[in-house]
Amino acid sequence: MPKHPSKKARVSDAVSIVAHQLKNPISVLYGYLEVLLSEEIGKLNKKQKEYLTDALKNVEVISKIVKDLLDVSRIEEGKYEIKPRETDLVKICREVINNLSSWAKASNCEIVFKKPAKLPKVYVDSSKIYYVIENLISNAIMYKSSGPAQVVIELKRKGNKVLFSCKDNGIGIPKKDFKKVFSKFYRSEEAVVLNPSGTGLGLYISKAIIQLNGGEIWFERNKDKGMTFYFTLPIA
């Protein structure tokens, strides 16, 4: 008798197909907005530019959701590709911090980066680890408390692993939600208010990435305020 795919597999297939179908329309929107905003086919007034910039930001949000959904279905199908090579985590952290610095500054959030003078390289898929670090630091900035905030990123050696930590003094995660933090689509009530367009897929994907790269990921609530997320990765 032919084996029928499970309901979970069928849902995952459907999500994957829909996400793929959205890619062409996203590319079209990106392209048209890029041309309009470059003003190569006509000058825009201030309001037109503002609206088109907002439209572009929203297309970027849709694009990220589609990419995350495709990653989730690949993870669930066991088809998520990892290409490990010797990687410098200090370099990745610097790149992420640099890319997020203007947003952090505008959000009144200081990013502090601590690292030892020497740190061994790890053997991981660098682009995927970039995603995890970007996701953790973005969350720390996004879910900050009102007023000035600080995010402390730290790298250190721990035996034959490198330990990454991201400590914030933000809104934190309610204790009752601790078991759901790495679940698909999990979002705390306060997180939904602060960032309505989030999907709750970032930490789910991050956990899968860290595990597939031979590491562990976890978090704890700080004694004073906020959360600290940790992960380890094997030394090359």
Partner 1 sequence: MVKKRRKPKILMMEDNIFLRKLYRDKLTREGFVFIEATNGIEGINKTLSEKPDLIILDLILPRKNGFDVLDDLRKDSRTKNIPVIVLSNLAQEIDIKEALARGAREYLVKTETRLEDVIKKIKKWLPK
Return d(Cα 160, Cα 10) in angstroms, integer: 40
Q: Is 23 in the site for partner 1 (CB under 8 A)?
A: yes
What phi and psi values does residue 102 have, to the nearest 5 degrees? -70, -40
Q: Is 31 in the site for partner 1 (CB under 8 A)?
A: yes
CB of 63 to partner 1, least distance (A): 6
Q: Which stretch binds partner 1 (CB under 8 A): 37-45, 47-55, 146-154, 165-173?
A: 37-45
Q: Which stretch binds partner 1 (CB under 8 A): 29-37, 104-112, 151-159, 218-226?
A: 29-37
Q: Based on CB atoms, which residue is closest to partner 1, 127 or 222? A: 127
Structure tokens at 186: 């999990």
Q: Based on CB atoms, which residue is closest to partner 1, 125 or 168? A: 125
- Which residues in the 62-91 window bind partner 1 by CB under 8 A? 63, 66-67, 81, 83
Return d(Cα 195, Cα 78) in angstroms, integer: 30
Q: Is 42 in the site for partner 1 (CB under 8 A)?
A: no
Query: Which amino acid type is present at position 207?
Result: K
Structure tokens at 193: 């208010």
**CB-CB contact of 216 with 231 (8 Å):** yes
Question: In angstroms, what CA-CA distances link 174 with 28, 74, 102, 124, 137?
Answer: 41, 30, 29, 32, 19
CB of 26 to partner 1, least distance (A): 5
Residues that bind partner 1 (CB under 8 A): 20, 23-28, 30-32, 34-35, 38, 40-41, 63, 66-67, 81, 83
